Structures are given as structure tokens and as C-alpha cells.
A and B are shown apart, each in its own frame.
Chain A
Amino acid sequence: MRSRPWLLLLPGLLWLGAFFLLPLAIIAVVAVADRGAPVAWGFGWSAFGRLWDPLVVPVLWRSAWIAAAATLGCLAIGYPLSYFIVRRPKRSRRLWYFLVLIPLAANSLVLLYAWTTILRPAGLLENLAGRLGLLPEAGFGLLWSPPAIIIGLVYWYLPFMVYPVYASMERFDFRLLEAAADLGAGVRTSVVRVLWPQTLPGVVTGCLLVYMQTFCSFVVPDLLGGAKTLMVGNLIQQRFLSLPQDWPLGAALALAVVAALAVVVWISMRVQSRLEG
């Protein structure tokens, strides 16, 4: 009997086709259309020209740096957190893992709304700061600002940093830290020179997962950023759903994002293989 190994690939290929390639093709067709909503089919590159519109470029730029800040935030919290969990005794480690991650993984809109009550003017945070005498005259003005989005994104996407970083730390041989200490290295030096380079593959994966998702996120900026601090996800959504509708521009934006993230993935894969090579 002839074996047909490609048959095993079939479900995967179908899935990829139905949920990735097909939508992508539709988006591409819309992007070159003449006009959107109602759509006027045609072929032209004008939508891509509108990507350089002064209303669009700042949003792209903002998305890039907010996503970068959120990624750094996730790393700053997720790395020590993973370290903390992995250093628990084996028996309680899994419990800690669940305790720390379940509420985060179970993130919901409700929890995000809770953040608005914390961050809004005269909300929980400003109340607390006011009582401690730390509140400036004008308030923090956190809600409806990039910092609020970053806080929300870090909160929402932290598990995506912790999963891969924790996994790489679980594989780490902690006797290496003892060896470093034995040779006279302090805690900071052993972390920087031994633990960090050994867990870098997990860090790169985590950063990639978080960056890609935060870059395109539209729920968090919608709730915490308001109308003035759009991210690219909001912009795409608006061009499709709110006035003035411009489907080709929305589609062109979506394609640009996919292309940009593809470049990011490609670079990080290069970095990964360098790390493992």
C-alpha cells in the first residue's frame, strides 16, 4: 500500500485555508476595491496611499510603542513572577502556577471594566492617593490615556509572557546558579550572566506573543483609551463599522499590520535559531 503522509496534513491545511488564507484573500480583494460600504469592486492601490494619511500614521506609531511598552511591562512582571513560581517546592509549584495564572487567564471584560473604576478620575486609585496626600491638583488623568491602555494590556496579556518564560525556567538547571554563587557571583550577576541567557528563548517567545497581540488589540484601548487614544485595531474596526466608512483603507491597514508582524516573527525566529545554535 502506498502511504500518503500528506493526508495527515489535510486537517491542518483545511484549517489554515478556511481561517487564515481565505479571510486574507478577502481582505486583499477589499483593499484594492474602489470604495467601501457599499463596496465598489475594482482594482487600485489608492487605499495603500491613504496609509500615509496624517490621521493614520500617528495611530500606527502609537500602536507600536504602546505594544512595546506593554511587552516590557509583561516581561518586568512575568519574569520575576515565573522565577518565583519555579523556585517553590515541587509539590506547591503547580498550585502557585494556577493561583497566579487562573485569574489572569480567566480575564474578562468585567475585569477590564473594574480597571476603569480604579483608574478613572476620582476612582479608587485617585481616592487612595488623595488620602495619602500624593494626588496632584489635576489628578492623575490616567484613564483615557496611553498609560491606562498599557496597564490594561499588561494585565490582560501577562499569561502569554509567563507560559513560555516559566517553561524555559523549568528546564533551567538551578545548580548553575549555585555554581555561579560558589565562584563569587552575587544574585544580580548570576541572574544576568547565567539565568537570563539560558531563558532567553522563552523570553523571545513571550515577547513575540505579547507584542503581536497587544499591537492589534482593540478591546483594551477601546475601554481604557477612549476616542483620543486609538490603536490600529480600533482604526481598522472604525473604518469598517463607523462613519466615515472606508473598507479599502481598513483592509489595507490590516494587510500592513499582518506584513509588519510577519517581519517581526521572521526576525525573532532568526534570533531564536541563533540562540539555540
Chain B
Amino acid sequence: MVPAVELTGVGKELGGQKVVRGVDLSIREGEFFSLLGPSGCGKTTTLRLIAGFETPDEGAIRIRGRGPGRRPAFAREVNLVFQNYALFPHMTVWANVAFGLEMERRPKEEIRREVEAILALVRLEGLEGRYPRQLSGGQQQRVALARALVTDPAVVLLDEPLGALDLKLRKDMQIELKALQRRTGVTFIYVTHDQEEALAMSDRIAVMHEGRVLQVGTPEEIYERPQTRFVAHFIGETNLLEGRLRPGGNGVVEVESDGLAFAVGGGGRSSGDEQVILTVRPEHLVVGRRLNGGLENRFAGEVVASAYHGSERMVHVRIGNGVVLRSRVPNGSAELPDPGDAVEVGWPAAAARLVSPD
């Protein structure tokens, strides 16, 4: 099937700086696809390229298999929800939403029907006559969404649409947005720097860093099987250890670091070079006065800090080589060590992965 949006080798320079470099993406029809990365990594620029506000210096962008041709701004097929909504302040909610349909010169009666339907869909009935400044942030957000959806585009691009909302409202809107996307079946390309948001909402995520796409995958893949150090570090929390590769037995490799040996069984990158980085998530680490056998990695250490996070506790343990490892311990588990306690920390080889140093 033809992808909804396809980028091949797209590069863009802005102000003498390579802002987007060699980006390849293939976004499926009906997908909720997120671009995730820290501030300034080129997410907005990528989105503006897809929207047609910028033209790529290198590479090509195809929407449903078609290049831009001579049409400006991909006017009909791709609609953008702007970072701060960009609602027309002198127009009512109704006029804002009807704008795109009027540009398409649809019949009056059809415009009325479509606008009513979409306002019902985003639960804005009764607010048609209001001006944007008379709406709350969440309501403005919905108007922007309705305005982008009403012309039935192939793709809706959303640039941090929830960034301006407070935490509680943001959580609600996440669920609402996702449900809306499901119901309409429209392809969403969603830009965010909030990894939790991306994990919770997306079908697939592209993690961006300094203009490049480092990894594309489902939320599980991105979280459980990060391929680069940056992805492992940026998504969730993790422990990173650097060391040298040492061949081990039965599918397990060993990483030697400052005299300690770590067993890695989960696969991941296993190219020839000796210097490697391994990652293991805090929730895979167990901490106890004496650990049972069966864990391939087991080290003696000392608790240096223990931070309370509500449903869990983050325990920091310093092991023999001076490295501090973090372990996530659910609250309510039997023994909770205090700082200064001598403990053991361990994890199964399968929980650890090798990642590339990008």
C-alpha cells in the first residue's frame, strides 16, 4: 500500500545550519505517528517540510505517492495544527472552522452540515458564536483541531498541540485526541518533546536528535529495544555502562568495565568494535540485602540515595567500580533499604542491551 507520507533522504538548511539531515520516514495510512525529540532537534522544521511551508534542499517528500508538483503548500491534502493554534482572532469558532471549506468553494448547505458535524465531534456545540479569546486553552485546541479536520485531509500535522495546556487537561486531551484519531481514521503526525505523551498515544514513534532520525518503532520497541545511547537515555530512565566487549558462552556476551564483568543476553548491537555501551532499565534492577541466585548479574554495593516518587522509590546504589546504578522499587515491597545500607543489586542478562554510541 502507498504510504500516506514518505520522506526519502530529506535535508534542510536554515540560517547556515543543517537543521534536518537525511531523514527517511514512511508513514502509513491511518497511523498515529509521533516525532519525538528534545527542543531544537528539527521536529517543527520536518513538519513544515511535510506541510509544504519549506522546500527540502535534498531528498523528496511524497504525499499518497505524489510529489508536490506545482501546487503550493500542499494546500488540500495536509493540514497543520499550529504550535499555538493560530486561530483567526477576528472570526468566530464557526467562521474559523468553515474557512477551509469555503476555500474549497463547497456549497453553503454542505458547509453548514460539515461544520456542525465536526463541532459535535470535538464537543464544541453551543460555542459556535464565540471568538477565540473567549475560549479556554482546551477549547481553542479543539477549534484548531476541528479546523484542520473538517476538510477531510489525508494527513493532519500537529505541532506540540498540548504544549500550552496544564498537566491535568493535557492528560485528558491526550486520550481525547487519540480517540478522535481512531474514530476519523485520519493519519496524524504528532510532534512532541514529551516522551510519556509519545509512548501513550502513538502507533509508531520516530526519535529525532540533531536533525536526524535515530530510530523508528512502536512504543514498545523504542522503550524495550533502544538501538542508540541517545534513544535509551531520552526515553524513560536508564542505566548506561561503558566498557569493552568480551566473548562469553551460550549466547551471552560480557562487557568488562573497570574490573567488573556484565553479562548481556538480550542482543542488540554486536558489531566488531570493542568499546560498547550497555543499557538496563531501572525497573529490571532488583535490590536486596541478599539476592537469590538465578541472576546473571549480581554486585555488592552501597545505597547512596533513595527518592520517593509516590507509587515507587528510586534507589541509587554505588557498586564496586564507583558507578551509581538506579533501581526502581515499587512501594509496598517488603524491604526498603536506607542510604548507607550494604546491599546487593542484580539483573538478568536478558534485561541488558548493547546500544550504539550515537
Interface, chain A (partner B; CB < 8 A): 173, 175-176, 178-185, 189, 193-194, 197-198
Q: Which of B79, B86, B100 has the most CB of A within 10 A?
A: B86
Q: Is B73 an interface residue (CB 8 A)?
A: yes
Task: Note all chain B residues with C-beta closer than 8 A to A193.
Answer: 99
B86 touches A184 (CB 8 A): no
Shortest C-beta distance, B120 to chain A (Å), equals: 20
B103 at the A interface (CB under 8 A): yes
Contact A183 B99 (CB under 8 A): yes
Instruction: Give B200 Cβ to nearest chain A Cβ, in Å.
Output: 27
CB <8 Å contact, B75 and A197: no
B230 at interface by CB-CB < 8 Å: no
Q: Chain B 146-160, CB within 8 Å of chain A: the 1/0 string?
A: 010001000000000
B100 to A184, Cβ gap below 8 A? yes
A residues within 8 A CB of B53?
Answer: 178, 181-182
Q: Given contacts A178-B80, A182-B53, could you give 11 more A-B pairs where the C-beta distance is less than 8 Å?
A: A173-B86, A175-B86, A176-B88, A178-B53, A179-B82, A182-B73, A182-B78, A183-B100, A183-B151, A185-B103, A198-B90
What is the size category of the interface that chain B forms with chain A? 20 to 34
Please give the distance in Å from B94's CB to the nearest CB on chain A: 14
Supposing A175-B82, A178-B53, A179-B82 touch, asked if A184 and B104 sit within 8 A by C-beta, the answer is: yes
Q: Determine the residue in chain A with the shortest Cβ distance to B80.
A: A182
Given contacts A175-B82, A175-B86, A198-B89, contact A180 B72 (CB under 8 A): no
Query: CB < 8 Å: which of A178, A189, A197, A198 contacts B86?
Result: A178
Report Cα–Cα, A74/B100, bound state, in Å. 33
Q: A184-B100, A184-B151, A189-B103 are in contact. Are A179 and B76 (CB under 8 A)?
A: no
Q: Are A183 and B103 in contact (CB under 8 A)?
A: yes
Closest B residue, CB atoms, query A189: B103
In the bound complex, CA of A178 to CA of B79 (Å): 11
Alpha-carbon separation in the docked complex, A198 to B90 (Å): 7
Produce 1/0 per residue, B65-98, CB < 8 A to A: 0000000110110111010101111100000000
Residues in B neighbouring A180, C-beta threshold 8 A: 88, 99
Inter-chain contact B73/A181, CB cutoff 8 Å: yes
B residues with a Cβ closer than 8 A to A are 51, 53, 72-73, 75-76, 78-80, 82, 84, 86-90, 99-100, 103-104, 147, 151
Considering the chains assembled together, what is the distance between the CA atoms of A197 and B91 in angstroms?
A: 10
CA gap between A153 and B219 in the complex, in Å = 67
Whether B75 lies near A176 (C-beta < 8 A) is no
With both beta carbons as reference points, the residue of chain B lying nearest to A176 in the complex is identified as B86
Query: When the two chains form their complex, are residues A184 and B75 in contact, meaning their CB atoms are under 8 A apart?
Result: yes
> In whole angstroms, what is the CA distance A181 to B73 when docked?
7
Q: Across the interface, do A182 and B90 meet the contact criterion of CB distance under 8 Å?
A: no
**Knowing A184-B104, A184-B151, A185-B103 touch, does A179 contact B88 (C-beta < 8 A)?**
yes
Asked, given contacts A178-B53, A179-B82, A189-B103, whether A184 binds B90 with beta carbons under 8 Å apart, the answer is no
Question: What residue in chain B is nearest A197 (Cβ atoms)?
Answer: B90
For residue A174, which residue of chain B has the nearest CB? B86
A189 CB, nearest partner CB in chain B, Å: 7
Question: Which residues of chain B are near A178, meaning CB under 8 Å?
Answer: 53, 80, 82, 86
The chain B residue sitting closest to A200, CB to CB, is B90
A194 x B88 contact (CB < 8 A):
yes
Q: Which of B76, B84, B87, B89 contacts A184 (CB 8 A)?
A: B76
Minimum distance in angstroms from A241 CB to a CB of chain B: 49
